[in-house]
Amino acid sequence: MTTLYNKIDLLPGVGEKRAAHYHKMGIDTAWDLLNHMPRTYLDFTQTVCIADAPIGEPCAIYGEVVEKLPEQRIRGGLTLYKVVLCDDEQALVLTFFNTPYTYRSMQVGQRYYVYGKVTGGMLRKEMSSPQVQADDGRAVLLLPIYPQTTGLTSAMMRTNVRSALQLLEDSMETLPPWVMEQYDLMTLCEAMRQIHFPKSQADMQRARRRLAFEELLKYQVGTTMLRARMQVKTAYAMQPNVSLDDFIAALPFALTGAQQRAIADIEKDLCGAVPMNRLLQGDVGSGKTVVAAAAIVYAVRNGCQSVLMAPTEILAQQHFHTLTAFLQSIGIQPVLLNGSLTAKEKRQIRSQIADGSAMVIVGTHAVIQKDTVFARLGLVITDEQHRFGVAQRRALAEKGGHPHKLVMSATPIPRTLALILYGDLDITVLDEAPKGRLPIRTYAVTGRKREDAYGFLRQHLDAGEQAYIVCAMIEESEQMELVQAAEQYAKELQTGAFAAYRVGLLHGRMKPQEKERIMRQMKAHEIDVLVCTTVVEVGVDVPNATIILIENAERFGMAQLHQLRGRVGRGTQQSHCILVTDSTNEESKDRLRELCRTTNGFEIAEADLKRRGPGDFFGSAQHGMPPMMQAALCNDMPLVKETQAAAGQLLEQDPDLRSSDCAALRLAILEMFAKNGENGLN
Question: Which positions touch ligand ADP (CB under 6 A)?
Answer: 253, 255-256, 259, 282, 284-290, 410, 434, 539, 541, 543, 570
Residue 118, contacted partner among Mg ion, ligand ADP, none, CB below 5-8 A by kind: none
Return the residue nearest Mg ion (CB atom): 539
For 109-159, give the secondary structure using H, E and C.
CCEEEEEEEEEECCCCEEEECCEEEECCCCCCCEEEECCCECCECHHHHHH
Please give the backbone phi and psi of residue 228, each rounded to the nearest 5 degrees, phi first.
-65, -40
Closest CA to 34 of 194, 181, 161: 161
Give min distance, CB of 144 to ligand ADP, in A.
44
Closest CB to ligand ADP among 5 and 253? 253
Of 220 and 259, nearer to ligand ADP (C-beta) is: 259
Per the CB < 8 A criterion, the answer to whether 51 and 34 are in contact is: no
- Tell me if 504 sits within 8 A of 375, measured CB to CB: no
Tell me how far apart the alpha carbons of residues 577 and 440 are, in angstroms, rounded to a whole number: 7
Report the partner that residue 286 touches, choosing among ligand ADP, Mg ion, none (CB closer than 5 to 8 A by kind): ligand ADP
Instruction: Specify the residue, 127 or 545, whose C-beta has the smaller distance to ligand ADP.
Output: 545
Distance of CA 99 to the CA centre of its chain: 40
Of the candidate spans 96-104, 500-508, 535-543, 546-554, the one that interacts with Mg ion by CB under 5 A turns out to be 535-543
259's contact among ligand ADP, Mg ion, none, with CB below 5 to 8 A by partner kind, is ligand ADP
Q: Are 642 and 183 in contact (CB under 8 A)?
A: yes
Eight-state DSSP code of residue 341: S
In the complex with ligand ADP, which residue's Cβ is closer, 467 or 647? Answer: 467
CA–CA–CA angle 531, 536, 540 (5° rounding)? 125
The item of Mg ion, ligand ADP, none sharing an interface with residue 97, based on CB under 5 to 8 Å by kind, is none
Per-residue contact string for residues 488-527; x = within reach of Mg ion by CB under 5 A: ----------------------------------------
21 vs 437, which CB is nearer to ligand ADP? Answer: 437
Q: Which does 144 bind (CB under 5 to 8 A by kind): ligand ADP, Mg ion, none?
A: none
Half-sphere exposure of 216 (CA within 13 A, CB side): 29
By CB under 5 A, which span of 27-35, 192-200, 538-546, 646-654 interacts with Mg ion?
538-546
CB of 434 vs ligand ADP, minimal distance in Å: 3
- Closest approach of Cβ 253 to ligand ADP, in Å? 3
CA 170, 141, 113 angle in degrees (round to 5)?
150
Question: Which among 100-108, 140-148, 361-369, 533-541 is the span making contact with Mg ion, rule CB under 5 A?
Answer: 533-541
Residue 576 beta carbon to ligand ADP: minimum distance, rounded to whole angstroms:
18
Q: How far is the CB of 310 from Mg ion (least distance, A)?
A: 9
Alpha carbon 563 to its chain centroid, in Å, reads 14
Tell me if 287 contacts Mg ion by CB under 5 A.
Answer: no
Q: Which is nearer to ligand ADP, 287 or 615 (CB)?
A: 287
Q: State the nearest-atom distance from the C-beta of 572 to ligand ADP, in Å.
A: 9
Minimum Å gap between C-beta 6 and Mg ion is 48
* Contact of residue 567 among ligand ADP, Mg ion, none (CB under 5-8 Å per partner type): none
For residue 176, the partner it binds in Mg ion, ligand ADP, none, with Cβ less than 5 to 8 A by kind, is none
Q: Strand 377-383 to strand 131-134: parallel, antiparallel, or no bridges (unpaired)? A: unpaired
Residue 263 touches which of ligand ADP, Mg ion, none (Cβ within 5-8 Å per kind): none
* Residue 311 found at the interface with Mg ion (CB under 5 A): no
Beta carbon of residue 297, minimum distance to ligand ADP (angstroms, whole number): 15
**Dihedral of alpha carbons 195, 199, 201, 203, sign:** negative
What kind and span of H or E run contains 639? helix 637-653
Cα distances (angstroms) measured from residue 191 to each of 173, 183, 202, 556, 665: 11, 14, 12, 36, 16
Of all residues in this chain, which one has the CB nearest to ligand ADP in the complex? 287
Is 434 or 627 the residue whose CB approaches Mg ion more closely?
434
Structural element, H or E, at residue 280:
strand 277-282
CA dist., res. 5 & res. 484, Å (int): 47
**Shortest distance, position 260 Cβ to ligand ADP, whole Å:** 9
Q: Which does 570 bind (CB under 5 to 8 A by kind): Mg ion, ligand ADP, none?
A: ligand ADP
Closest approach of Cβ 273 to ligand ADP, in Å? 30
Selected from 539, 601, 624, 626, the binder of Mg ion by CB under 5 A is: 539
Residue 410 or 640: the one with the smaller Cβ distance to ligand ADP is 410
569: left (phi over 0), alpha (psi -120 to 50) or beta: left
Residue 358 DSSP one-character state? -
For the residues of 295-318, what is the DSSP string, one character each?
Answer: HHHHHHTTT-EEEEEESSHHHHHH
Element (H, E) at 202: helix 201-229
Nearest distance from residue 288's CB to ligand ADP, in Å?
4
What is the number of other CB atoms lying within 10 angstroms of the CB of residue 251? 15
CB 431 to ligand ADP: min, Å? 12
Q: Which residues lie across from 119 on neighbouring strands?
A: 126
Could you say which of ligand ADP, Mg ion, none residue 287 binds, taking C-beta under 5 to 8 angstroms by partner kind? ligand ADP
C-alpha 186/C-alpha 206 separation (Å) is: 7
The entry of ligand ADP, Mg ion, none that residue 666 binds, CB within 5 to 8 Å by partner kind: none
Among positive and negative, which fits the CA dihedral 395, 397, 403, 406? positive
3-state secondary structure of 86: strand
Query: Cβ 539 to ligand ADP, closest distance in Å?
Result: 5
Which partner, ligand ADP, Mg ion, none, binds residue 290 by CB below 5 to 8 Å per kind? ligand ADP
CB of 410 to Mg ion, least distance (A): 6
User: In angstroms, what is the minimal distance from the CB of 292 to ligand ADP?
Assistant: 8
Between CA 117 and CA 677 the distance in angstroms is 44
Report what 215 binds from Mg ion, ligand ADP, none; CB cut-off 5-8 Å by kind.
none
Binding segment for Mg ion among 48-56, 478-486, 536-544, 655-663 (CB under 5 A)? 536-544
Closer residue to Mg ion (CB): 384 or 636: 384
From the list Mg ion, ligand ADP, none, pick the one residue 543 interacts with, judged by a Cβ distance below 5 to 8 Å according to partner type.
ligand ADP
Of 313, 310, 334, 308, nearest in space to 516 by CA: 313
Runs of H (alpha helix) within 271-389: 288-300, 313-328, 343-355, 365-369
What torsion, rounded to 10 degrees, do the Cα atoms 145, 641, 615, 444 define? 120
Cβ within 8 Å of residue 207, ≥6 positions away: 186, 190, 191, 192, 193, 194, 195, 198
Closest CB to ligand ADP among 220 and 466?
466
| Minimum CB distance to Mg ion, residue 563 (Å) | 10
d(CA 461, CA 280): 35
253 binds, among ligand ADP, Mg ion, none (CB under 5 to 8 A by kind): ligand ADP
Rounded to an integer, what distance in angstroms lies between the CA atom of residue 261 and that of residue 519? Answer: 32
Binding positions for Mg ion, rule: CB under 5 A? 539
